[in-house]
Chains A and B, each alone.
Chain A
Amino acid sequence: MCHDRLMKTILQIEDNFANRRLVERVLEPYSYRLINAIDGQSGIDTALMEAPDLILLDMGLPDMDGQTLVSVLRETPSLAKVPIIALTAWPESIAGEMALRYGCDGCITKPINVAEFGKQIEVYLSR
């Protein structure tokens, strides 16, 4: 696959179509290469193939828990250092602790703040 090497690749693992679409639209002006996976298994496969610069991970996936998926990604040498941002509708107090304990680099609660989301992602990518 050929793409601009300077263009950052973001993998979004999210089962809900409306949520995926919203993130796509919000990130459109930023010229990222956004790729999608709709469940945990395809998320792992895509991450291995595409080596993304950042993973946006919905913690509630239909085939496996998001936490289990984070564990798998963290155990995979080629992906161990890729920043993972948990996207979750869980109450902020739970979501924050969960993300921290499982080794996510950050947590954004849903519904996403459309005005802030792009900037939040920029910050995570620049770290």
Chain B
Amino acid sequence: MILLSASDFAIEELTRAYNQTRTDYLIPMPMNPGRLQEYILLYDVALDRSKVAIEGDNIVGLGMLGKRKGMGWITRLGVLPDGRRRGVGGAILDALLTEAHGCGLPDVWLEVIHGNGPAHELFHKFQFRETRELIVARRPPRTARNMSIVKDARQIRYLQHDEVLELHCRRKERMNWLSSVETMHNVRRLANFSPDDEAGYLQHELAHLSGIIVEFSDGARGWVSFQATTLQLKRICVEVLRGDPVRTTAGLLELLHRLHSSQDAVVENIPDDAAWPGYKEAGYFEVFRRIEMVRESVTE
């Protein structure tokens, strides 16, 4: 088996290989080339530092490395069914960690789906430790909920993309890679991305963030930001600035969904903290959990 740089491969080849690694996965999430390209742009995946494992003429596995200031992120790591139980995953992971080290990234993060025992075990073997559990949740359109919270909104101000970014920059909570300020900055990069139709990129994608900042009659205050596409609301982030976290979160989300009642909504990698019951109150339900892990720099 040899490991090659992922930048030596066409996006279509990487997509095909990635989908094959996930055919029998716990939560299969296939992509098309457009979606993978979007993922690479949004999450700062460095294809020249990412790896593809080859045996003969066949791809047997792959793994990608995201790079941000002082931090690496391992993602899309997977081995095709025929390549399993032969150390391919470990070899790719080792190579990605070497790349991260070479780029001067002391901390490397990743997420593993709750219940994916073999992957979790592999990450422990490479000195990753758990930091927290993250929830992926959804809310179908037109879910009728508690509208009384909405009536309590005293003042609503609509936020433009740059204002949303400013709020993200000021957040105190440590965000996961997917919802960090760097990801939010990258949303604009999608506007400059002009894939061909065959790549399957959703042409109705709108490359900007929107938001609302709300004051409630009981003095609670908070904001919610999101990326709205024709069919879906994504990259939803809530911050409660003042007041009860559950009630305020629920109120902000209710308002958001009143404005965008026909779209399906998905929140990814939110922590299981005091605000989560507010999401549930606004009609979200948990789909699955990921375990966030980190491998901090080891002094040699």
Question: Is A65 within 8 A of B24, CB to CB?
Answer: no
Interface contact tally, CB-CB below 8 A: 62
Question: Is A101 within 8 A of B285, CB to CB?
Answer: yes
Residues of A within 8 A of B2 (CB): none
In the complex, which of the residues B24, B25, B26, B32 contacts A62, with contact meaning CB atoms closer than 8 Å?
A: B32
**In chain A, residues 41-74, which have Cβ atoms closer than 8 Å to a Cβ of chain B?**
41, 60-65, 67-68, 71-72
Question: Is B200 within 8 A of A63, CB to CB?
Answer: yes
Cβ of B30 within 8 Å of any chain A Cβ, yes or no, is: yes
Q: 1/0 per position for A64-101, CB-CB distance to B under 8 A?
A: 11011001100100000000000001110010011001
Residues of B within 8 A of A120 (CB): none
A90: nearest residue on chain B (CB-CB)? B27
Question: Is A64 within 8 A of B202, CB to CB?
Answer: yes
Question: Is B232 within 8 A of A15, CB to CB?
Answer: no
Residues of A within 8 A of B141 (CB): 71, 75
Residues of B within 8 A of A113 (CB): none
Min CB–CB distance B30 → chain A (angstroms): 4
Min CB–CB distance B91 → chain A (angstroms): 27
Question: Is B264 within 8 A of A65, CB to CB?
Answer: yes
Given contacts A63-B202, A65-B264, contact A89 B231 (CB under 8 A): no
Question: Is A94 within 8 A of B288, CB to CB?
Answer: yes
Question: Is A65 within 8 A of B28, CB to CB?
Answer: no
Q: Which of A39, A60, A68, A89 has the most B CB atoms < 10 Å from its CB?
A: A68
Question: Is B31 within 8 A of A64, CB to CB?
Answer: no
Residues of B within 8 A of A94 (CB): 287-288
Given contacts A62-B31, A65-B266, contact A91 B26 (CB under 8 A): yes
Cβ of A103 within 8 Å of any chain B Cβ, yes or no, is: yes
Chain B contributes a number of interface residues (CB within 8 A of A) equal to 29
Given contacts A67-B138, A97-B285, contact A89 B28 (CB under 8 A): yes
CA distance A47 to B202 in the complex (A): 19
Cβ of B298 within 8 Å of any chain A Cβ, yes or no, is: no
Residues of A within 8 A of B263 (CB): 71
B23: nearest residue on chain A (CB-CB)? A16
Chain A contributes a number of interface residues (CB within 8 A of B) equal to 24
Residues of B within 8 A of A103 (CB): 140
Question: Is B23 within 8 A of A68, CB to CB?
Answer: no
CA distance A83 to B163 in the complex (A): 44
**In chain B, residues 145-197, which have Cβ atoms closer than 8 Å to a Cβ of chain A?**
none
Cβ of B262 within 8 Å of any chain A Cβ, yes or no, is: yes
Given contacts A39-B200, A103-B140, contact A72 B231 (CB under 8 A): yes
Residues of A within 8 A of B35 (CB): 62-63
CA distance A33 to B252 in the complex (A): 47
Cβ of B259 within 8 Å of any chain A Cβ, yes or no, is: no
CA distance A65 to B29 in the complex (A): 8
Residues of B within 8 A of A41 (CB): 200
Question: Is B32 within 8 A of A63, CB to CB?
Answer: yes
Residues of B within 8 A of A102 (CB): 140
Residues of A within 8 A of B202 (CB): 63-64
Cβ of B34 within 8 Å of any chain A Cβ, yes or no, is: yes
Cβ of B21 within 8 Å of any chain A Cβ, yes or no, is: no
Cβ of B269 within 8 Å of any chain A Cβ, yes or no, is: no
Min CB–CB distance B22 → chain A (angstroms): 8
Given contacts A68-B264, A75-B141, contact A39 B32 (CB under 8 A): yes
CA distance A64 to B25 in the complex (A): 18
Given contacts A67-B264, A97-B285, contact A62 B19 (CB under 8 A): yes
CA distance A67 to B115 in the complex (A): 22
Residues of B within 8 A of A62 (CB): 15, 19, 30-32, 35, 200
Known: A63-B34, A67-B140, A90-B27; 4 extra A-B contacts, CB below 8 A, are A15-B19, A63-B202, A68-B264, A98-B138
A-B residue pairs, 6 tightest by C-beta: A62-B32, A62-B30, A68-B264, A71-B264, A60-B28, A63-B200
- Interface positions of B (Cβ within 8 A of A): 15, 19, 23-32, 34-35, 115, 138, 140-141, 200, 202, 231-232, 262-264, 266, 285, 287-288
